[in-house]
Amino acid sequence: MFVDQAQIYVTGGNGGHGGMSFRREKYIPNGGPDGGNGGRGGNVILQATGRLRTLAPFKYKKKYRAESGENGTGGRCAGKMGQDITVEVPVGTVIKDRTTGQIIGDLNADGDTCVVAEGGRGGLGNMNFSNSTRQAPRFAQGGTKGQQRTLLLELKLLADVGLLGFPNVGKSTFLSVVTRAKPKIANYPFTTLIPNLGVVEWKDFDTFVIADIPGIIEGASQGVGLGYEFLRHVERTKMLIHILDVSGQEGRDPLEDFDKINEELAAYNADLAGRKQIVALNKTDITPEERVAEVAAAIEELGYEVFPISAATGQGLDALLGRTIALLDELPAPEIHLETPESEEALFTMKKDEPAFSIHQDGDVYTVEAPFLEQLINSVNFDDLDSVGYFQRRLKDAGIFAELERMGIQEEDTVRLEDIEFEYFK
């Protein structure tokens, strides 16, 4: 089954919490804090492999989560880091963040990797909070959650040459003759629904990879039919071979077909309009020579090279393939333009300088929401005055108390943070 689009959900492992512990030994009854740091959570990594040709595996498994880090323990023992998880995808996979539309990665070669969800940071153990005035901190820092994302995967076939043409012009026949690919061949009124990829092995010619892009209909650039799904596969090719049915046996005008498909290419992606393109006039074995010459002359006037061929008999294939190989040696690889977001999305929204927050008032209840609150609450021992003091200073430094005062909070009003509530006192 050929699948070239998929949606998956990825979650980095959570960071382990820092340990809250004190050294207690036979002759050292009042040892200092020795809580170790929590381990970092594992990352989710996508890796390109040539063993896969389709995104079909992601129809059945859609969720991927890396291992969480372990908590720090006494004796200054750091928690074990969570293991990364590596997910294999086909070469040519483009990775997008579904929420932002940002392109995260473009895996064009076997072995290329991209971290798509970072693991959470491990929290600091209480040994890190000891100083000259606070020698026995009874709190430690909580680990952060791993990054969560919904990803869109798009597979763009990696081929040297793309075959273009309306249905029934003979692309599948051509591909079956010059490669070992075995596309379905019949007089269908519509089109091949699956892009066929094959390696050209013709006589003593050099080999190259060619993709039979399913027939494009008028309006494909606006998504008519399966337009978008098919047009993406021509973006990575160095050049295009445009096959026309010069016989007109399907009741179509080859010159009109030529214009329509090029209009769709230009409308979908302006770069494609300038991609090197040569034209193969197919079915010359059943077409009068005068008609072949007439169509060839009209297209050559537009600046294109034209090769009369018959995919069924092999006539003209040597000249067409020879010129194709010569052009592939001359042409540079197409530039791949990735979408650049207006601003880079932060992997973690917690910042040391000025954490963002919002406050919602409902009567005398003030609900504070901020990405750093969960980690902060996990860091606090609410039975210890030093730890509570640390908690209050963090809220003050973040500007939360100042904003509450600005909103008119009164003493004994309720402040709600995550799952805890407390009464406000100045």
AA identity, residue 204: D
Together in a domain, 13 and 49: yes
Together in a domain, 281 and 364: no
The count of domains in the chain is: 3
Sheet containing strand 420-423, strands side by side: 358-362, 365-369, 414-417, 420-423
Q: CA 413, 416, 420, 425 torsion: positive or negative?
A: negative
Given 278, 311, 330, the domain boundary residue is 330
> Helix or strand or coil: residue 28?
strand
Angle at 422 between CA 419 and CA 424, to 5 degrees: 140
Torsion angle defined by CA atoms of residues 124, 127, 131 and 132, in that order, rounded to the nearest 10 degrees: 170
E-strand ranges in 220-272 read 239-245
- Residue 417 contacts residue 368 (beta carbons within 8 Å): yes
Q: Is residue 44 part of a domain?
A: yes
Q: CATH number, domain at 256?
A: 3.40.50.300
| Predicted model pTM | 0.64
Together in a domain, 76 and 131: yes
- Residue 124 contacts residue 202 (beta carbons within 8 Å): no
- Residue 202 contacts residue 58 (beta carbons within 8 Å): no
Together in a domain, 142 and 280: no
Together in a domain, 55 and 133: yes
Together in a domain, 90 and 172: no
Together in a domain, 266 and 189: yes
Q: Is residue 63 part of a domain?
A: yes
Q: Is residue 198 part of a domain?
A: yes
Q: Is residue 338 part of a domain?
A: no
Comparing C-alpha atoms, which of 274, 278, 50, 264 is closest to residue 163?
278
Given 95, 126, 155, the domain boundary residue is 155
Together in a domain, 147 and 170: no
AA identity, residue 116: V
Tell me how long the chain is: 426
Q: Is 11 exposed, middle or buried (0-12, 13-18, 19+ CB in 10 A)?
A: buried
Together in a domain, 118 and 174: no
Together in a domain, 172 and 143: no
**How far is Cα 340 from Cα 22, in angstroms, rounded to an integer?**
49
Q: Is residue 50 part of a domain?
A: yes
> Helix or strand or coil: residue 307?
strand
Together in a domain, 277 and 387: no
Look up the domain containing 405 and give its range. Answer: 358-423
Q: Is residue 352 part of a domain?
A: no
Q: Is residue 247 part of a domain?
A: yes
**How far is Cα 393 from Cα 267, in angstroms, rounded to an integer?**
57
AA identity, residue 301: E
For 280: left if phi > 0, alpha if psi spans -120 to 50, otherwise beta; the answer is: beta
What tens-digit pLDDT sequence spans the chain (426 residues)? 456 789 999 999 999 988 888 888 777 777 789 989 999 999 999 999 988 878 888 988 999 999 999 999 988 899 999 999 999 999 889 999 998 888 899 898 899 999 999 999 998 888 888 887 777 888 788 888 899 999 999 887 777 898 888 878 888 888 888 886 554 443 433 344 556 777 887 788 888 888 876 655 444 444 444 444 556 667 778 899 999 999 988 788 999 989 988 888 888 777 777 889 999 999 999 999 999 999 999 999 999 999 999 999 999 999 999 999 999 999 987 766 554 444 333 333 333 344 578 888 888 889 988 877 877 776 676 766 667 777 888 888 888 888 888 888 888 888 888 878 888 877
Say what angle helices 289-300 and 254-268 make with each other, to 10 degrees. 30
Together in a domain, 226 and 259: yes
